[in-house]
Structure 1
């Protein structure tokens, strides 16, 4: 595949939840090529450079899939930081901050739940639809937390 195809596949499977910059895809492909994880294998009719995963790349991918996501060092969470900084900050009513966030989060949960219901009504028929359902489930769990 070429970079734009990879981007399209990622966005299709994730419901465009995390849009990718195609330039970043090509930068990543260059690094993967440098590290022996992919190789260029010709070009298509339109002149796009096609990439294929190597044996080392497959081994690394398999390792990535098999290794649980480390939750002991969670990424920064803007909401947690905002709430921590709002407590005791002059002129900030923490209750207003929490209420505003609660309203926004409930709306997001409703939207995600509606998306999930639509996806389930269509009975997932392919990998992209199943992948999107998993992403929506994760978004719901994250919003609930």
Structure 2
């Protein structure tokens, strides 16, 4: 996830200060990904250094307001028109954990799979409930949250299916054909 491009995209809407950007990010993504307020301010400093945002006059309450530059707008346009690269798959801690567990003595990979399945199914239930609740009272602004929830649901469903496959492979390993 690119905090850099997300902040620039939010600044296209209108100038904001850091805490407003943090709140907008949380609202528009359904708080699906934790974003530390410190990350926002560090990113704003880098964006200013790179000429993609500028500091405007502080508001009456002492907040430093940031606005996007033309170079920042060009970067946002490029971000939205470019596909997310798939050449380097994201690091998957669960896949690494299970792969290493299979190769190390004394690791109960079956128990790890069961523990993860429990957590994943609980998350799937939570995402599904949040999606149902949001859709039941949907406002136009909720479409973005629904997209995020749909993505989380599909990813979690895929993880549960993958865990089923891992378990089946473990059983094959324990009971090789004769």
Tell me the secondary structure at the aligned position of residue 44 of structure 1.
coil
Greater percentage in helix:
2
* Higher mean C-alpha displacement, 96-105 vs 43-52: 96-105
Kindly tell me the number of residue pairs found equivalent between the two proteins: 143
Alignment of 1:116-135 (within 5 A): 116-126=131-141, 129-135=142-148
2:116 to 88, 95, 101: 101
Partner in structure 1 of residue 169 of structure 2: none
TM-score by length of structure 1 reads 0.92
Q: Distance in 2 between matches of 1:91 and 1:46?
A: 59
Partner in structure 2 of residue 110 of structure 1: 125
TM-score by length of structure 2 reads 0.76
Q: Distance in 2 between matches of 1:95 and 1:29?
A: 45
Structure 1 unaligned segments of length 5 or more: list them: none
Greater percentage in strand:
1
Moved over 3 A (4+): none
Q: Distance in 1 between matches of 2:136 and 2:62?
A: 40
Structure 2 unaligned segments of length 5 or more: list them: 1-15, 159-178
Q: Distance in 2 between matches of 1:23 and 1:143?
A: 29
